[in-house]
Amino acid sequence: MSKATSTAQAAAAAVDHSAHPLPSYLEADNLGPWGNYLQQVDRVIPHLGSLARWAETLKRPKRILIVDVPIHMDDGTVAHFEGYRVQHNVSRGPGKGGVRFHQDVTLSEVMALSAWMSVKNAAVNVPYGGAKGGIRVDPKKLSRGELERMTRRYTSEIGIIIGPNKDIPAPDVNTNDQIMAWMMDTYSMNTGSTSTGVVTGKPVDLGGSLGRREATGRGVFTVGVEAANHIGLEISGSRIAVQGFGNVGGVAGKLFAEAGARIVAVQDHGGTIYREAGLDVPSLLKHVEENGSVGGFPESEVIASDSFWDVECDILIPAALEQQINASNAGRIKARMIIEGANGPTTPAADDILQERNILVLPDVIANAGGVTVSYFEWVQDFSSFFWDEDEINARLVKIMKHAFAAVWAVSQDQKVSLRTATFIVACKRILHTRELRGLYP
């Protein structure tokens, strides 16, 4: 046993969980995304050296806010929705993370997403902590007026903890630049001055950044190409399957297709389509824009949704929701590489199966960090009131993503661990080193 390992184990053992029990909603036994995150943290603790004494910091969100969001509906009734904003860690800077509107949003999910944002921001070394928000609602059932009233009320309710130097929301599932515009305006009205920096992912005319919409997909493509180079996978001619074909999966699919890859299968909420010769990606993107899903796309074969995991491909890009790759389907995947465009799409049990099968997994906390990286650019531009052109933004994004991937790859090779564990090692050391330097107050 190495000295570093023994030191880490001793530090970890020094945390007496019986004396300092976790609240029930923080325990790993509380199944769901938060439980998955805690398992990921446990795997990295032996690699933290003396910083392991601070590891409990990673298992306890700094602040959890649950809010009631009442609004007047168009029919004159009053409806109540439950909203969340979780700040996992702010040692390295303001909280940063998206807001999702979805009928299946839970506290466990939002907590895990906020924690993954802490790791993601540290992995690409932008000066943010991690946060996340959400409302349990199906936004498709709301009129535009109801959606605006809900967004504004939610913003007012969480306004006590957000701000351009405190916590900066952004778009996520079922939210977009218009939602961010309403959030920015509501916060600005409540504080008495225009505050463009309170959210990112805004319309360009309100201080948004060029390249923001495509940033996450571009980041997925960038790290995918870097990883492919390391394992000898030629992108041109490779077969790619994509789950989710929106801002992340659609943009990544488009960039891979432009590089000569064949997008052979796509799945979203509207169906699963397949074409061995490769789908016409520009036409498919137009079809999704006009119809809301890939369902009904011509010149493709419709296959059963569960058959998506059996598609022969070189690269699989899960870009939908959490826990899509699990113990029941990980053994069926026929890909050399998985690039996680979504947050938390692979369970720890599936990770083990994929590693045993020598399938390289590029984890979400590095692969989909392009979005928050350009959000950082937007925030910087808002503060300076000086805006960059799209070529400069894309060049800066690619540079940061390549540098971050290189650091993670080096740790993975040096310590013989998966890319996920390597990313956690890099990120958690940065978070906990900052925690140690700042100390505890009072």
How many whole angstroms separate alpha carbon 316 and alpha carbon 334? 9
- Cis peptide leading into residue 61 (ω within 30°): no
Q: Are 369 and 341 contacting, i.e. CB atoms less than 8 angstroms apart?
A: no
pLDDT over 50 at 372, yes or no: yes
Residue, of 3 and 93, whose pLDDT is higher = 93
pLDDT given for residue 15 in this prediction = 44
Indicate the burial class of 247 (C-beta count within 10 angstroms; 0-12, 13-18, 19 or more). Answer: buried
Residue 427: Cβ within 10 Å count: 27
pLDDT given for residue 13 in this prediction = 43
Name the nearest CA neighbour of 62 among 29, 94, 24: 94
Lowest pLDDT segment from 76-80, 130-134, 293-297: 293-297
Average pLDDT along the chain: 92
249 within domain boundaries: yes
Catalytic option among 59, 96, 120, 132:
132
Give me the half-sphere count of Cα atoms (radius 13 Å) on the Cβ side of residue 188: 14
Q: Convert the pLDDT of each residue in 305-318 to its tens digit.
A: 999 999 999 999 99
pLDDT given for residue 26 in this prediction = 66
Looking at the structure, do residues 191 and 64 belong to the same domain, yes or no? yes
Element at 241 (helix H, strand E):
strand 239-243
Q: Convert the pLDDT of each residue in 263-290 to its tens digit.
A: 999 999 889 999 999 999 999 999 999 9
Render the burial of 138-151: b for 16+ CB within 10 Å, e for the rest: ebeebeeebbbbbb
Average pLDDT over residues 189-216: 95
pLDDT over 70 at 126, yes or no: yes
Looking at the structure, do residues 27 and 65 belong to the same domain, yes or no? no
Domain end (from 342, 362, 382): 362
pLDDT given for residue 30 in this prediction = 53
Looking at the structure, do residues 7 and 77 belong to the same domain, yes or no? no
pLDDT given for residue 31 in this prediction = 62
208: DSSP letter: P
Q: Are 415 and 75 contacting, i.e. CB atoms less than 8 angstroms apart?
A: no
Residue, of 27 and 280, whose pLDDT is higher = 280
Three-state DSSP class for residue 322 = coil
Number of independent structural domains in the chain: 3
pLDDT category at 23 given cuts 50, 70, 90 is low
Domain residues for the domain of 298 are 213-362
| Helix 370-384 and helix 212-231, axial crossing angle in degrees, nearest 10 | 140
Looking at the structure, do residues 68 and 178 belong to the same domain, yes or no? yes
Catalytic residue list contains 334: no
- CB neighbours of 199 closer than 8 A, spacing ≥ 6? 168, 169, 170, 180, 183, 184, 187
**Residue 170 maps to which CATH number?**
3.40.50.10860
Looking at the structure, do residues 119 and 18 belong to the same domain, yes or no? no
Average pLDDT over residues 18-29: 60
pLDDT given for residue 3 in this prediction = 44
Looking at the structure, do residues 41 and 89 belong to the same domain, yes or no? no
Q: Where are the alpha helices (DSSP H) in 60-176?
A: 107-123, 144-158
pLDDT given for residue 213 in this prediction = 87
